[in-house]
Chain A
């Protein structure tokens, strides 16, 4: 299969997906569960892919994602609350310090930039550390970020530990898919560039990579900043989706969830992360909901079912995946048109399946 037909099929598939989403949006009532699930799934797909860029492609085991999402979410919220509503939102801080509002799209980009700046500064000391020390240090920094954003003295900017709300948000499902899709496409392009190859070299063997002339510190810093940039963007999208945001929700448990999504999808597989974030959200928010409510079959109450049981079942499923299906859904493979449609054609030409 030629490159050209592959591109055509990809474009057609993406177009078809968007069309289906558009039709869904036009036909179903906007409160339908499917929209909640798909929006959140798209946001989590982005943050999972950004984490995969670090953990899966560069071999940097970082647990700071929730912190950078927080930075993004707050940057977005703080910069876009309409001036008229500021007095109301910042009621404890005399209307706050910032008295302007930016266009949402600009604010989303700035959210990423802000998270990137934080990541750059944090990366300077932290990226010298290795494996689990890096994990703990990034986890620690995420907690520090959370503490600082909730600090009273910063209240005029961050509203302390109170909610940020009344900022504009896009309701359309398509927006979330396009925004997240564009970002993921950018990450994929980075991974396929020379930088991406350097990242993979660092992941496979740091010493060998250094010997081949790859500047370790420089490349690690790039991966860290880019990953955090997109985590910041996804934080902004999450803020938008939730219509209100509070620093308290960006706990380390959130990072763990994202990490588990990456693991389920396969560490080192972009499409795996995307598939598993939709699966994760659909299962946890929708399909397994019934486990949380009491149920009667005839007159007999089904045992165990009550609030919270869903998460227990879910955690058990995750443990089973972590222990017995360590490769996750995709391993390090990618889902691609070439793999599905092009196998027979490739066999003729090269005598093997496409390598990706």
Chain B
């Protein structure tokens, strides 16, 4: 019992952070599934969601801010795709990736300009930021509601992808980009829709994440972004349940490592995991093997 009460906070923090990574990871995995592009800007879109909340909450009440932030983040994600990725549809993959890095650089610098480089205090969202006690551990309510919320969203998303027309189009596009185009799928709207879903989930993730870590800085999105990507790779890129499991795993292990007093290596672990996965099972946990044709 003593051991449990000592380690439970880390475990709970891990599950909670894992859920937040999961919401970001879905955005990566879906975009990668269709475009074969690591959307380096995704972490920064997540950061933008945090910043918009900070600024919106100074003039508007919270219950107006939340939908506003979601709409604005979705809009940013949509615009990024239209402006920076769409013109490069037929370009080599490397060019698109460079463009993604360029967008990330732009968003970070824009945030630096707007904030003046100072960490901005994230507003307290009532109810989810309340302090509660679980099994003798004091924590914020957000820690507890993150996992069920993530699972609900994922179920909704899986339903969307498996059962609806647009979901079918997305699956077709990720199987074979060109053939799906020939079959009459409007590929641009499918891709836009993918970015919209990804950004929406990133916005939801930002509410949860920043309720725990309240400082919003221009580079705050970079690390969660990379970790979420690793989670997506771990779970098998393109697979949503895989990304979620990977994200929870990374969140939990990272916090256990922190609990052991090895904070320096908590980030290193993530990348070590990535390399191990890529070497031994490059398709990830649930990924489908694709043979390279010569």
Q: Which A residues form the contact surface with B (CB < 8 A)?
A: 55, 61, 125-126, 128-129, 131-133, 135-137, 139-141, 143-144, 147-148, 150-152, 207, 251-253, 256-257, 259-260, 263, 267, 306-309, 311-312, 314-316, 318-319, 322-323, 326
Contacts and interface: CB of A to CB of B under 8 A. Distances in A.
A147 B268 contact: yes
Contacts of B294: 207
Interface of B: 36-38, 83-84, 87-88, 91, 93-95, 97-99, 101-106, 108-110, 112-114, 116-117, 219, 222, 226, 229-230, 233, 264-265, 267-268, 270-272, 274-275, 278-279, 282, 294
A135 B97 contact: yes
A129 B278 contact: yes
Contacts, number: 122
Given A136-B229, A319-B99, 7 more contacts: A125-B275, A129-B278, A137-B278, A148-B264, A308-B109, A315-B102, A316-B106
B38 A135 contact: yes
Contacts of A309: 113
A222 B274 CA distance: 24
B39 to A, nearest CB: 11
Given A137-B278, A323-B87, A131 B109 contact: no
B264 A147 contact: yes
A307 B98 contact: no
Nearest to A252: B222
B233 A133 contact: yes
Contact of A140 (B38, B270, B279): B270
Contacts of A135: 38, 97
B106 A256 contact: no
A267 B222 CA distance: 25
A137 B229 CA distance: 11
28 contacts: A55-B94, A128-B279, A129-B279, A132-B37, A136-B229, A137-B274, A140-B270, A140-B271, A140-B274, A140-B275, A141-B271, A144-B271, A147-B265, A147-B267, A147-B268, A207-B294, A256-B105, A260-B102, A260-B105, A308-B109, A308-B117, A311-B109, A312-B113, A315-B110, A316-B106, A319-B99, A322-B99, A323-B99
A307 B112 CA distance: 9
Nearest to B95: A326
B105 A133 contact: no
A256 B116 CA distance: 21
A88 B175 CA distance: 61
A148 B262 CA distance: 11
A132 to B, nearest CB: 5
B275 A139 contact: no
A267 B98 CA distance: 11
A323 B86 CA distance: 10
A143 B268 contact: yes
A125 B109 contact: no
Nearest to A144: B268
Nearest to A131: B93
Contact of A260 (B101, B112, B219, B271): B101
Given A137-B275, A140-B226, A311 B84 contact: no
Nearest to B218: A308
Nearest to A160: B264
A287 to B, nearest CB: 17
Given A136-B233, A263-B98, A256 B104 contact: yes
B113 A136 contact: no
